[in-house]
Amino acid sequence: METKSIMIVGVGGQGTLLSSRLLGAVLTAKGYDVKVSEVHGMSQRGGSVVTYVKYGDEVYSPIIEKGEADYILSFEQLEAARWLPFLKKGGKLIVNTQQIDPMPVVIGAAEYPQGVIEAIGATGADITSIDALSLAVEAGSSKAVNVVLIGVLASKTDIAYDTWVDAVKATVPAKFLELNLKAFDLGYNYK
Amino acid sequence: MAKELRIGNDAVARGLYEGGVRVVSSYPGTPSTEITEFISTYDDVYSEWAPNEKVAAEVALGAAIAGARAFCGMKHVGLNVASEPVFTGSYTGVNAGWVIAVADDPGMHSSQNEQDSRHYAKAAKVMMLEPSDSAECLEFAKKGFELSEQFDCPVILRLTTRVAHSRSLVEIGDRNDIGVKEYVKNPQKYVMMPAMARGRHVVVEQRLLDQAEWAESCELNRVEMNDTKIGVITSGVCYQYAKEALGKNASYLKLGCVYPMPIDIIRDFAAKCDKVYVLEELDPFIEEHCKANGIDVIGKEAFTVQGEYSQSLIAKVILGKETEAISTDLEIPGRPPVLCAGCPHRGLFYALKKQNVTVSGDIGCYTLGALAPLGMIDTCICMGASVSALHGRNKANPENEKKSVAVIGDSTFIHSGVTGLIDIAYNASNSTVIILDNSITGMTGHQQNPTTGKTIKGDPATAVNLEALAKAVGIDRVRVVDPYNLKETEAAIKEELAVEEPSVIISRRPCTLLKYVKHEKPLKVNADKCRGCKACMKIGCPAISFRDKKAVIDFTQCIGCGVCEQLCAFGAIEKGE
Ligand SMILES: Cc1ncc(C[n+]2csc(CCOP(=O)(O)OP(=O)(O)O)c2C)c(N)n1
Ligand code: SF4
Ligand code: SF4
């Protein structure tokens, strides 16, 4: 099998690292060769963050370059637009519609662009946009945005539902399991 | 055995563990920190956070000489600090093995420079191994102890960010604990004064020759012959990039040992290929070795000494292939990192801004105070430099004393700020030093340090008393402020700048991300009272934004620190319920 590439992008502190860990667990369970590349440190303080996940028979480079991602999972609108050039032709983009103003916008040195989702749609990219924050709150915590989004991604892959659920069970602490399973389902069943 | 997905640093920790490490001392630094954090989870290994990298390396070398396999880990610039014991440790050699991990950061994801640690191996004449994925991280770390003992030499394991922070599959093995070897007194070997050191230098030079010969046939350096039109000499993560870009269309010589380097196998390999590229990030280290030996290779003339390599860079340069990319025509503002909502450093910087002072800065979360809208750091050089550079500034022109301060974090102060403070006291400058004591080493992901009262394992420990320390070195004016209280903080800064003697202000409040810190209810903006003056936005709290001409506070981020509330002249920022 050819190597597949998934990018998870967002804002430092949004919990993107948990999603990549979850994905890693699912893909290892399926017996793939897997590489996950994260960036720790400085950018975790509210900067633009990106995680690369790659799987297949044999994966070499741990990073994803422009035009290579089969899926991009974006935790925030602006980040989706920023990383769009990494999407492969025919790749799928899943975007949480949440908007988080970057500091240049907060201080009035720049503007948060209007119509981000439409602009991305206009490039012909296959985009699914979802208000994952509301669904996370519905599941019981605003922190579960990451699991909602993983649920959406899961519904677009050919990996079985149960494999995902097992990985959620293995990755999140027991006391938050019920909440996270609910969050996963809300994402998985999102149309 | 089933394979596990592990981050490179975790795999290094596992390799050290399996290799029988007994004593570990490190100072945190991205991207090396997690090695030691993972080691601290093994109960049968002694581990600690040292005050700085020099101490860490000396602890490790001391343990190795005493007969225990030992380790210290650091980021690339940490090796500058630790270089002293490493250079002379190369002469003393070891008794039990000593492995040093150093993590370079091409692309400077979290660093102040882009130095290439391989030069240290050459300069200190010590062996250096470079893994290219987590499996090799484990294998090379383990092998490091054997090689260190075989050649009686420190062994450096060089990582880069993409290896240290990528997860890939590893196979776990058993621990080989060799116990503590006997220590035999041997001044000729361990007392490095001129007469003995001259003898040891002879040993070191012979050792390099032996290692270079070993490098010709060791299994860490390997050749993969495919199509011979393109030959690639590479090491570390560049090997992975090359394999992805070129696959079977190229042949490879992968160096697992980057110092000392073999020459015969390189010559042999190059002779079999039509065109040979050296693929290595940062400096032309392998390339210069090839060229110095008359081997015709293409290196930096086609690539770059700056930033990271990638599969697409290699495909573009070697194959002339480019991947198509789509994009919108939106103007996308950047998203630089920021101090967290409720960060205790914010109030301090705001108070400094009101005083309009020059700030001699240092390295930590608080370096983010350099960015807009605070913009309150004038210099940032290396750890500890804030304090000593302020002293220099004040000696350059005593008028600066009344309008300049140094800011330094608790961990950084202990690392190498206290020596600068001793200089201020001893050589008398009226400097004002502000220690931002947030009770943790924040920037690198929250490690304990000598001021926090806890060990690496979270057990109670003796805590350095910063007030008493400052007094003990000769600073009489030492005071503590709460940076959440803007008035008090501002007043203290004003007073200490005015007095004719050196002073230390300790700005004390724990980092909001610490588990034991209780957050207040989020504040909210009363839209009827808000006049849209944006006074509250001058502190750059990421929880505050501006919508429809009014400030709004994001309840998911606000921790109710109350700093913005003190800026609003209209009482529009209210306690949430
Ligand atoms: C020589 C060296 N070692 C390690 C580092 C990595 N590093 C950057 S900041 C920092 C410490 C930050 O802690 P502290 O001074 O307490 O400030 P905080 O981040 O908590 O605000 C470290 C270890 C470095 N930059 N240079
Ligand atoms: S981690 Fe702590 S010290 Fe660092 S920016 Fe956040 S609150 Fe401030
Ligand atoms: S109280 Fe104000 S300054 Fe503090 S975290 Fe909340 S919004 Fe930010």
Nearest CA in chain B to A124: B326
To 5 degrees, how large is the angle CA B347–CA B348–CA B349?
95
Domain locations in chain A as residue ranges: 4-107+114-188
Helix (H/G/I), strand (E/B), else coil: B114: coil
Alpha-carbon distance of B503 to B201, in angstroms, equals 47
Q: A116–B325: do the CB atoms touch at under 8 Å?
A: no
Give the ligand 3 atom nearest the CA of B562: 1
Q: Are A120 and A81 in contact (CB under 8 A)?
A: yes
Domain locations in chain B as residue ranges: 4-177+188-217, 222-319, 344-508, 523-575
CA–centroid distance, A190 to ligand 1, in Å, is: 43
Alpha-carbon distance of B469 to B450, in angstroms, equals 12
CA–centroid distance, B520 to ligand 2, in Å, is: 16
Class of domain B344-508 as given by CATH: alpha beta
Name the residue of B368, B407, B438, B441 whose CB sits within 8 Å of the most ligand 2 atoms, as the mutation to test its pocket: B438
Which string of DSSP letters, residue by residue, matches B321-337? Answer: -----------------
- The beta-carbon neighbor of B109 closest among A41, A84, A103 is A41
Class of domain B523-575 as given by CATH: alpha beta
Give the 3-state secondary structure of B507-518.
Answer: EECCCCCCCCCC
The superfamily CATH assigns to domain B4-177+188-217 is: Thiamin diphosphate (ThDP)-binding fold, Pyr/PP domains (3.40.50.970)
Whole-prediction pTM value? 0.97
Alpha-carbon distance of B330 to B184, in angstroms, equals 70
Nearest to A80 by CA among A45, A111, A118, A107: A118
CA end-to-end distance (rounded Å), chain A: 29
Alpha-carbon distance of B331 to B329, in angstroms, equals 7
Give the ligand 2 atom nearest the CA of B438: 3
pLDDT in tens, A104-117: 998 889 999 999 99
A102 contacts in B (CB within 8 Å)?
Answer: 333-336
The DSSP bridge partners found for residue B254 are B222, B234
Alpha-carbon distance of A90 to B200, in angstroms, equals 64
Alpha-carbon distance of A33 to A43, in angstroms, equals 28
Q: Pairing relation of β-strands B23-26 and B70-75?
A: parallel
Nearest CA in chain A to B112: A42
Nearest CA in chain A to B168: A35
Determine the pLDDT at residue A17: 87
Nearest to B167 by CA among A119, A62, A65: A62
- Note the CATH architecture for domain B222-319: 3-Layer(aba) Sandwich (3.40)
CA–centroid distance, B442 to ligand 2, in Å, is: 6
CATH 3.40.920.10 fits A4-107+114-188, yes or no: yes
Kindly identify the ligand whose nearest atom is closest to the C-alpha of B444.
Answer: 1
Domains B222-319 and B523-575 share a fold: no
Kindly identify the ligand whose nearest atom is closest to the C-alpha of B447.
Answer: 1
Residues lining ligand 3, CB < 6 A? B 341-342, 523, 541, 543-544, 553, 558-564
**A106 lies within 8 A of chain B by CB:** yes
pLDDT in tens, chain B (577 residues): 679 999 999 999 999 999 999 999 999 999 999 999 999 999 999 999 999 999 999 999 999 999 999 999 999 999 999 999 999 999 999 999 999 999 999 999 999 999 999 999 999 999 999 999 999 999 999 999 999 999 999 999 999 999 999 999 999 999 999 999 999 999 999 999 999 999 999 999 999 999 999 999 999 999 999 999 999 999 999 999 999 999 999 999 999 999 999 999 999 999 999 999 999 999 999 999 999 999 999 999 999 999 999 999 999 999 999 999 999 999 999 999 999 999 999 999 999 999 999 999 999 999 999 999 999 999 999 999 999 999 999 999 999 999 999 999 999 999 999 999 999 999 999 999 999 999 999 999 999 999 999 999 999 999 999 999 999 999 999 999 999 999 999 999 999 999 999 999 999 999 999 999 999 999 999 999 999 999 999 999 999 999 999 999 998 899 999 999 999 999 999 998 7
Q: Which residue positions in chain A have pLDDT lower than 70? A: 41-43
| Conformational region of residue B324, where left means phi above 0, alpha means psi within -120 to 50, and beta covers everything else | beta
**A113 lies within 8 A of chain B by CB:** yes
